[in-house]
Structure 1
Amino acid sequence: MTPTHWRRNVALFLTGQTVSLLGSMIAQYAVMWWVTLQTRSGLAVALYAVAAFLPQGIVSIFGGVLADRMNRRTLVITADAAIAAATLALALLMANGVTDLWIVLLAVAVRSLGAGVQTPAVQAMIPQIAPADQLMRVNGLFQTIQSAMALLAPAAAGAIFAAYGLAPVFFLDVITAVLGIGLLALVTVPTLQRTTETRPTYRQDLTEGMRYVRAHPVVRWLLIVYAIIFLLTVAPSFVTPLMVARTFGSQAWMLAALEIAFSLGMMLGGILMSTVLTKRSPIGLILVAVYGFGLTTVALGLSGNLWVFYAFMFVFGLLVPPFSTPFMTLIQKTVEPAMHGRMFSYVGIVMALATPVGMAVFGPLADVVSVQALLITAGLTAIVVIAIATRLPSGRATLTAAREPEAQPAEPAGPVLG
């Protein structure tokens, strides 16, 4: 049951996430640039991707179960506080001159561990605080905010990193996390009744979640497509800063402009998703986006001019909201509320494992062949694989089911406000 004052809850939730997200993104960009500029090594960039995503994938296995067993607001606050404490300790070390690569990667890995608990709970919280008929709009607004922060963060990261180094970036992340926790504490989030009853073991919960995925073709197909996109287009995108540094120049503004172009595209896409595209078919938007990702990845590899490269990076960003917003909305609408945490943990696992697996291949290869060749190959492969996936009998059945009128998810009986 959605609280009657849902607009206040959504406003507080989005504001808190915005503040926290800004600090996190600034730290993310600064660390990625530091690794790229300090090493100019595809292997080092691959290690960064592994540190950023693999811990999240491992912890997400348990994070989703926790999100279905605990009050999700409490879980997010606890995870944020743990990340802030660990980040503060690492920032103090770096401020005292400990700036080895392994320390930086350790900081990234610690943040990834926290994200494995936090992310499923955040995504599962949205359908608890927003009405079902407003989910696409709220998700689109959330995506727009994320895109706006992604636009602001590179400029802020470049200024802070260039002037003061990496340690102050982590101090800023701690401050924004504390502010985000304070705002989230004001949000009223229902605790599903299941969390107050006698519960099965964690292993039984995990097994139940896996059976749910196998039994629901829409969810299963969405996860497969998600894995393909992250493996063949998102993972290769991590070497685009390396292509800029090797091909066009290693000035900091070039890397910042690359991220700004991507973020501008994401922001425009988020605005479109929360306005004119709200009523469009979610599965149709996803298909347009996934084929667009493949084509744009090929175009990035073919770009011989820096500004053309930026233009295609803008297009890549533009396609992100039409993919991620309907994807999250379909999961939220088709999965029963008591399973949301586990389903979003599987989404996190797919993202967290597909990216480092892809980078384990693309990173070392970037030291052997050109980044351009990698992008072209990855993009063409993505197009072919998606085309096959949509034409298989299971794919056609899933697309048909997803286009049918959506049934409203069952409301949890007797929630307790916490």
Structure 2
Amino acid sequence: MDNWKKKTALFLASQAITLLGSSLVQYSIIWYVANETKSGVMVTLMTICGFLPQVLISIFAGVWADRFSRKKMIIMADGCIAVSTLILAFIVMNTKDFFWALLVISAIRSVGAGIQTPAVNSAIPQLVPIDKLMRIGAINSSVQSIINIVAPIVGSGVLILGKFHYVMFIDVITAAIGISIFAFFVPLPKLERADGKELPGYFDDLKDGVSYALGHQFLRRTLIVCGVFCFLIVPAAILNELYVVRLFGDVFPDNSYLALAINAVAFFAGAIVGGIVLSAWGGFPNRLKTLALGGIGFGVTTIVIGLVSSFWLYLVVIFLAGFAMPFNNSPLMVMLQEKVEPEKQGRVFSLLQIVNVLVMQLGLLVFGPLADIVPLQWLMVGSGVGLLIMTVCIVRWKSFYREGVTLIAPLSDENEIP
């Protein structure tokens, strides 16, 4: 894998640049809806439009990532997202009633993300040696966190000093830059099937991928753990902006966007520090032990979020919550990259994305309306307790916990973990 560091750096840089623009739009839309409506139902509706289409397209995107050029898929998805955002900018410029457009374009952008995500996750192991995946994963997590610090700062500045549609033009520009870097400077090796057989029919490939994931005990258990985790983090991860607007919106009475920006910066600053620590350390040899450490950290901080009443103390806690996130995300992604056969990773990551998004939509349907009935603080405390219980269950689930130890040989029908 000659020059893998240079190729990986350019690949991550190209994705980071496009992510910056996408994050600006994402923050702006959610902030606008939360700030204008202060409604859990409306935030839920917008979030569902932003995520549910990923599930529908992911059914096919995983197979596409294992059959076709992952590079072309990533470029086309990024390009389509940018075009849809440009259309949204012109709609916002020319009409005052554009809430419907936010819903439609969010759904279109979600389709693009659903195609792009399994392709990106599957492309990384093609560039990075298997023994370097954890460190690269942690570095990538830190880079994304840096972007998620810059994005709310820039986004709030644009919303305060400029106009809503300005952020959309920035997204189009960053997409053009990121696509150009990836297209011209990052050659992605052609993926060869390990079994050497000819490509089967499309639906045979889809069935094979689902059977592969559900047929292995480790992968089945991983999907269950991911699903429970995604359900329990909905209050802290998705209803967070609504929480800040309701409880701390009067901290900056002249502009509530500033409180939202500071909130996002605090969380992702913690995630950067956490990613740097994990990158330098490398985590425990047992990936699930590292994940459990992150689960405890995120569970405790979620509980404390629901108990504090000072905005500035809340920022300290949300920083610590951000610190814990790489310890949850990176071990999980690396375990799959280490254990799943390269030519099947697209379908496995797609199935993981489907499970995560569907469960989060279920969580939104539960917690979103509840947020208009009971105090959000109660939901934070309850979900935090649930996260701690889940973490204890993972550690005590001995047969699964042992499977977190690094396995160099990918899972296959011949070496399935019992």
* Fold equivalence (TM over 0.5): yes
Spell out the pairing of 1:157-306 with structure 2 (5 A cutoff): 157-185=155-183, 186-194=185-193, 198-250=198-250, 251-278=256-283, 280-306=285-311
SS of match in other structure, 2:2? coil
Instruction: Say whether residues 1:313 and 2:312 are aligned partners.
Output: no
Q: Which moved more, 1:69-78 or 1:214-223?
A: 214-223
Letter in 2 for 1:193: E
Match of 1:406 in 2: 407
CA contact (8 A) 2:51 2:357 kept: yes
Query: What is the distance in 1 between the residues matched to 2:159 and 2:221?
Result: 41
Amino acid at match of 2:34: T
What amino acid is the match of 1:136? Answer: M
**In 1, Cα distance between equivalents of 2:394 and 2:282:** 25
Partner of residue 37, structure 2: 39
In the alignment, the residues of structure 1 paired with residue 217 and residue 164 of structure 2 have an alpha-carbon distance, to the nearest angstrom, of 45
8 Å CA contact retained: 2:24, 2:152: yes
Compute the displacement of 1:88 (Å): 1.3
Identity of aligned residues (%): 36
- Does the CA contact (< 8 Å) of 2:394 and 2:400 recur in 1? no
Partner of 1:131: 129
Does the Cα contact within 8 Å between 2:227 and 2:355 map onto a contact in 1? yes
> Which residue of structure 1 lines up, in the alignment, with residue 12 of structure 2?
14
In structure 1, how many angstroms separate the alpha carbons of the residues matched to 2:35 and 2:411?
A: 51
Which residue of structure 2 lines up, in the alignment, with residue 396 of structure 1? Answer: 398
Distance 1:219 1:167 in 2: 42
1:264-295: CA deviation from partner (whole Å, max 9, x where unpaired)? 11110111121123565321111111232222
Q: Which amino acid aligns with 1:244?
A: V
User: Does structure 2 retain, via aligned residues, the 8 Å contact 1:6–1:129?
Assistant: yes
Q: Which amino acid aligns with 2:115?
A: V
TM-score, normalised to structure 1, is 0.92
The aligned amino acid for 2:191 is: L
Preserved contact between residue 225 and residue 386 of structure 1 (Cα < 8 Å): no
Amino acid in the other structure paired with 1:228: V
Q: What's the offset of the Cα at 1:9?
A: 0.9
Give, as a single letter, the amino acid of the residue that structure 2 aligns with 1:126: I
TM-score when normalising by structure 2: 0.92
The aligned amino acid for 2:408 is A
User: Offset at 1:99?
Assistant: 4.3
Paired residue type of 1:130: V
Structure 1 stretches of 4+ with a deviation exceeding 6 A read none
Q: Which amino acid aligns with 1:299?
A: V
1:356 deviation in Å?
A: 1.8
| Counterpart for residue 416 of structure 1 | none
Counterpart Cα distance in 1 of 2:355 and 2:30: 21
SS in 2 for 1:193: coil
2:186 counterpart SS class: coil
Q: Does 1:372 align with 2:370?
A: no
Distance 1:162 1:357 in 2: 34
> Residue 65 of structure 1 contacts residue 202 of structure 1 at CA under 8 Å; is this kept in 2?
yes
Range that drifts further, 231-240 or 11-20: 231-240
Instruction: Please point out which of 153, 156, 162 is paired with 2:154.
Output: 156
Distance in 1, matches of 2:393 and 2:130, equals 33
Maintained 8 Å contact 1:70/1:191 = no
| Alpha carbons 2:16, 2:144 under 8 Å: kept | yes
Q: Does 1:66 align with 2:71?
A: no
Distance 1:278 1:52 in 2: 33
Aligned residues: CA RMSD: 2.0
| C-alpha distance in structure 1 between counterparts of 2:167 and 2:20, whole Å | 11
In structure 1, what is the Cα distance between the partners aligned to 2:139 and 2:407?
21
Whether the aligned pair in 2 keeps the contact of 1:235 and 1:356 (CA below 8 Å) is no
Change beyond 3 A, Cα 1:230–1:156: same
Q: Which deviates further from its counterpart, 33-42 or 272-281? A: 272-281
Determine the C-alpha separation between the residues in 2 that align with 1:410 and 1:132.
14
Distance apart, 1:410 and its partner CA = 8.8
Change (3 A) 1:183 1:230: same
Q: Deviations over 1:200-236 (max 9, x none)?
A: 2332222212221223222222222211111111454
Q: Is the contact between residue 46 and residue 360 of structure 1 (CA under 8 Å) also seen in structure 2?
A: yes
How far the C-alpha of 1:177 sits from its partner, in A, is 0.9
